[in-house]
Structures are given as structure tokens and as C-alpha cells.
């Protein structure tokens, strides 16, 4: 028996006990390690399977729920303290107004009759910073808010290319020519009264004044008389074109907050309480759904037509997509005003409501929009700068100075399509006087039936500030890319986890098929190694040893090789 124990220790590295032989055998180091390894493999396979399923579910949730879109919809709505709302309330951008004046270089020759046409010299830019804000904001219960628009101007001498507000120029006398045009259609006695005043004051249609006076504060005797005797018509005692263009006294606007539709957040619902301006019949007066340039609709599609409204333009103008581009790393859609924008119905019937005349032949030429009803009845008409894309008839009384160039005179917007935020823009238009027959008005006859350019402006935003670029880059690039990468990573990791768990389970199954269960392997090992010891050394010869072998084999339900037992 002693020899058998030595054999046992040599084979299994453990001890033999006749009472607890089965338990001791199963606790032998070799077979304990084998069992532990198989359990670890199964636990590893289950763990990777659970991780794979969890990753797959997470990826599907991101794909379906789209957390970025949820964040975007939350940000884009207007609400107190909201990020996009704060950008709209006080845009942190550099918005500039550039003014170019038309200096008359042959005034004496023209007034004396020696010259039949006027010669102009473009002088500018006179540059101002426009501090656009929306003030006195009130949130309404119907998904809108009401605010008062404010556009104060700040002189920027360093951006004016050497021009000064004190520059002396020869410019049209707006007060005289405007009153002359209005009174020319009145009765005889009214015209006689005006002629008397003109002669007594020696008012001239072309006068020398500073650039600032023409833009903001020109005073004349005629304007003082108008303010004194007709305050309901002329309620101001000084006249400047830019001053009148930026007159917002008493105005208020209502815009959508986006709670009833995210795409319209920041767009105009009503202006001064109405969805249209009163100067035009429908549909020309519609301003509902337009933008003041701060924010356009969200999630724009290339074929969408946008609306841009400025009070000084006296209408909401459509914008059409013409190209795609990239600005400061952001994708943008390029928009222009369509070619028929300033038609008065002569060429396009849909624009007939922009003509103030009953006879269409009396409507203004193509490219000239009559906006007198927005400018106190003064004969003001808008066009592109230098009469770009206008009827050539407008050049008939102009000898030189006007040279249309689409690169310099065409309006464009570059808009980021997801947020509707402008990345770059330049709104350009010209202020003209479209005068009628002034032959019966003193000192004014030379200007009869003339379209007289006075100034043109460019409202420009030439890029986003660095702080806004970083913010937009985070929202429009980093977050979407991070979400996409996370989704792909989860799909990849879940696929790997599931495949690895399948591999581990398949390997374990194959191992079980190729190798008997641990007790089976143990018995075979006994048969093989014990027999080799017996055959080589003949050490086991007692009945006690034979009894052990039988007692071990029987609990494991194995048939005892009688031949081998007999050998034992």
C-alpha cells in the first residue's frame, strides 16, 4: 500500500486517502486548474456577450433618438437666457454700414444749360458700425415675442478710407426737389405759393454741404416751413437720407420663438402689429416669415426661398439659392435677390402690386422700385447701386460716373443652413429721386422726368468673430462628429464583443467534444498511468489495491476492465 501511495503521488501530485479518495482526487492541482480555466472561459464569453448587446442597444438609441438633434432643438428655441436667443437679442457681430455719395461735378454747367447731362463722382465709403439690438422684449403666450428694433450708428473713421464727415460735396437739395415734385401735381395757387417761397429763399436744387449734413442733418428754409405749417406730413426739422432710413420711432416687431415650429424661430410674425406693411396691396406687402438678417429659417434646403426685410427697403425681398461655398470652415448656401425683384409689373405680372399707377405704362422702369409711400411721399425710388440690372433708359440723363459691376453692386448672403445663421453678407441698394414734370416749379425744371442718384449703401457683415466661430465649430462640427464616431465605435465594439463571445463558447464546446469531462479524463489517466507503473514495476499486488481501484471506478459509473483488474 505504501508503494501505491508513492505511485499516486508521482502521477497526480496529491495524496491518497482510502476514505475520501474521490474528493481528494478531484482536488488534485492539475484537474482543479482545468476546471477553473473552463469556468473563466464561460464567464468571459458571457461578459463579452453582455457588453456587445449593451453596445448595440446604445448605438441604436443614439441612431434613433439622435441626441445632437435634441440638443440642437433645445438650443434653437428662443427663451429667456437661451443661447441662440441671446445671439439674436444682441448679435456679437461686426455689422457695418458703408455709404457712397454721388457728388455732382458739373453743377454749374448743367444748371446753366451748357451741359445736357449730369456728371457724377462716387465718393466714399463713409463707414459706420451698426449696433443692432432688440430691446424691451416681451414673451407672448402664442409662441412669439415682441421687441423694439434698434439700429444706432457709430462713426468708424479708420474704416472710411480717408473720408471725413466734414467733406464738402455738391449734392441734391432733397427738400426742394421733394416738395417741388409733390406740389407739381397740386393746383395752380399751391404751385404759385411754392414758387414765391423758392424765389424769396433762393433755394437751389444742387447745393454744397458736408457729407454728414446730407446723410443726417441738413437744414433748409423749406424744411422749416414744412415742419411749421404741415407737421403731420413733415414732423422733422432737418432732413438726412440715412437719418430717415434709420428712423424706428414707435416701431415694434413680433417674431416667432420656435416653440410651434423650430424652423421659424427668429422670423417675423408681424411688424407694428400687422403681417404686412400698409404701403402695398397683398401679396406685395407681406413680411410674415421674413428675417431682418439676424437669423434665417433653421434646417434650410437648397430649393427654399427666403425672405429678407428691412424697413428702409420698404418691402420683404425674396432670396434664392445660387451656389454652395465654405466660409471659415463652415458650409454655407449663397443667396441672391432674383432678377425680377425690382420689377414694377412691366415685365412680371406678379409684381403689378408694386406699381402705384393705374396705367402700367406709367410705372417706373425695370430695376426701379417706387417707395415714396415709405418716405413721407417724397419721390424716392430704390435700385441696385449704379443702376445695376436696371433699364438702360435710366442712364439717359447721366453722362459719366455710373459703372455697374456685379462683384461690387450685387447683394449676397452666405447662410449656414442648419442654424440659419449668416456667415457673410452684403446688402446693397441705391437711393434715387424719381422726379416727374417740374417745369412749372421755380429753379427745378432742369430736373424734370429725371432719375437722380443720391447715394448707395452696403450693409455688410464680413465674417464671424473668433468667439462665435469657436462656438459654432463646437456645435456644428465637433459634437456631430463626436456623436458619429461614438455610434460607429459602439457598433464596432458590440460586433467584436458578440463575435468574441461566440468564438469562446464555440471553442469551449469543441474542447468538451474532443476531451472528456474532468472525471472521465481522470479515470483514463488512472488506467493509462497506473497500468504503466504496474507493468514496469509490478508493485501493486495486494487485494487492498484492487479494492481501491474498484471503489474509485464504481462511483464514477465506469465499467471496470476485468482483464486489467485480473492483471492487477
The 10s digit of each residue's pLDDT in 47-83 is 767 776 876 787 777 777 677 676 777 777 788 877 7
Percent of the chain scored above 90 by pLDDT? 40
Whether the per-residue pLDDT at 213 is higher than 90: the answer is yes
Longest dimension (CA), the chain: 154
Chain centre to alpha carbon of residue 371:
32
Q: Is the pLDDT of residue 127 over 90?
A: yes
Return the pLDDT at 412.
Answer: 96
pLDDT of residue 498: 74
How far, in Å, are 159, 280, 383 from residue 276 at the CA level?
A: 36, 8, 22
The residue-averaged pLDDT of 346-359 equals 84
Mean pLDDT confidence for 122-139 = 94
pTM for this entry: 0.77
| Mean pLDDT, rounded, for 101-129 | 94
| Residue 501, CB-side half-sphere exposure with 13 Å CA sphere | 16
Interatomic CA distance for residues 160 and 153, integer angstroms: 14
Between 82 and 165, residue with greater pLDDT: 165
CA angle 308, 314, 319 (to 5 degrees): 25
568 versus 66: the higher-pLDDT residue is: 66
| Cis amide leading into 497 (omega within 30) | no
pLDDT of 136 higher than 60: yes
Amino acid at each position: 500500500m505504501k508503494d501505491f501511495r508513492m505511485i499516486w503521488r508521482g502521477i497526480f501530485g496529491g495524496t491518497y486517502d482510502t476514505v475520501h479518495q474521490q474528493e481528494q482526487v478531484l482536488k488534485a492541482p492539475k484537474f482543479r486548474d482545468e476546471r477553473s480555466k473552463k469556468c473563466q472561459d464561460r464567464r468571459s464569453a458571457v461578459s463579452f456577450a453582455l457588453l456587445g448587446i449593451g453596445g448595440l442597444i446604445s448605438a441604436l438609441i443614439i441612431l434613433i433618438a439622435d441626441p445632437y438633434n435634441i440638443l440642437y432643438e433645445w438650443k434653437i428655441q428662443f427663451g429667456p437666457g437661451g443661447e441662440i436667443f441671446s445671439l439674436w437679442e444682441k448679435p456679437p457681430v461686426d455689422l457695418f454700414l458703408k455709404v457712397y455719395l454721388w457728388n455732382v461735378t458739373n453743377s454749374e454747367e448743367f444748371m446753366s444749360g451748357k451741359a445736357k447731362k449730369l456728371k457724377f463722382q462716387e465718393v466714399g465709403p463713409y463707414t459706420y458700425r451698426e449696433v443692432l439690438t432688440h430691446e424691451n422684449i416681451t414673451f407672448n403666450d402664442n409662441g412669439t415675442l415682441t421687441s423694439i428694433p434698434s439700429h444706432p450708428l457709430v462713426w468708424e473713421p479708420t474704416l472710411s478710407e480717408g473720408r471725413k464727415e466734414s467733406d464738402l460735396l455738391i449734392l441734391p437739395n432733397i427738400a426742394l426737389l421733394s416738395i417741388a415734385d409733390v406740389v407739381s401735381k397740386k393746383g395752380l395757387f399751391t404751385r404759385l405759393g411754392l414758387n414765391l417761397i423758392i424765389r424769396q429763399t433762393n433755394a437751389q436744387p444742387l447745393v454744397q454741404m458736408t457729407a454728414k449734413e446730407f446723410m443726417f442733418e441738413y437744414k433748409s428754409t423749406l424744411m422749416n416751413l414744412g415742419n411749421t405749417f404741415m407737421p403731420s406730413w413733415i414732423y422733422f426739422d432737418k432732413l438726412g437720407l440715412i437719418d430717415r432710413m434709420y428712423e424706428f420711432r414707435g416701431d415694434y416687431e413680433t417674431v416667432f420663438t420656435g416653440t410651434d415650429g423650430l424652423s421659424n424661430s427668429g422670423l417675423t410674425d408681424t411688424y407694428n402689429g400687422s403681417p404686412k406693411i400698409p404701403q402695398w396691396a397683398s401679396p406685395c406687402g407681406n413680411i410674415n416669415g421674413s428675417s431682418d438678417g439676424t437669423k434665417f429659417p433653421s434646417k434650410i434646403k437648397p430649393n427654399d426661398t427666403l425672405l429678407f426685410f428691412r424697413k428702409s427697403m420698404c418691402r420683404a425681398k425674396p432670396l434664392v439659392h445660387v451656389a454652395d461655398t465654405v466660409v471659415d470652415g463652415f458650409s454655407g448656401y449663397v443667396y441672391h435677390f432674383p432678377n425680377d425683384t425690382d420689377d414694377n409689373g412691366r415685365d412680371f405680372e406678379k409684381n403689378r402690386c408694386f406699381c402705384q399707377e393705374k396705367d402700367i405704362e406709367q410705372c417706373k422702369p425695370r430695376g426701379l422700385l417706387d417707395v415714396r409711400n415709405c418716405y413721407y411721399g417724397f419721390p424716392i425710388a430704390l435700385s441696385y447701386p449704379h443702376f445695376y440690372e436696371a433699364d438702360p433708359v435710366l442712364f439717359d440723363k447721366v453722362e459719366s460716373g455710373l459703372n455697374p459691376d456685379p462683384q461690387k453692386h450685387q447683394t449676397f448672403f452666405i447662410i449656414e443652413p442648419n442654424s440659419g445663421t449668416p456667415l457673410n453678407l452684403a446688402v446693397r441698394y441705391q437711393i434715387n429721386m424719381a422726379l416727374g414734370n417740374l417745369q412749372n416749379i421755380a429753379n427745378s425744371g432742369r430736373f424734370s422726368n429725371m432719375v437722380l442718384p443720391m447715394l448707395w449703401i452696403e450693409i455688410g457683415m464680413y465674417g464671424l468673430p473668433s468667439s462665435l466661430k469657436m462656438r459654432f465649430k463646437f456645435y456644428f462640427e465637433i459634437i456631430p462628429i463626436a456623436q458619429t464616431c461614438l455610434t460607429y465605435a459602439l457598433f464596432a465594439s458590440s460586433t467584436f464583443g458578440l463575435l468574441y463571445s461566440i468564438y469562446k463558447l464555440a471553442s469551449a464546446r469543441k474542447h468538451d467534444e474532443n476531451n472528456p469531462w474532468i472525471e472521465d479524463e481522470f479515470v483514463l489517466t488512472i488506467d493509462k498511468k497506473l497500468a504503466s507503473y504496474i507493468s514496469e514495476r509490478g508493485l501493486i499486488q495486494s487485494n487492498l489495491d484492487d479494492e481501491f481501484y474498484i471503489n474509485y471506478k464504481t462511483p464514477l459509473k465506469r465499467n471496470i476492465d476485468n482483464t486489467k483488474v485480473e492483471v492487477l
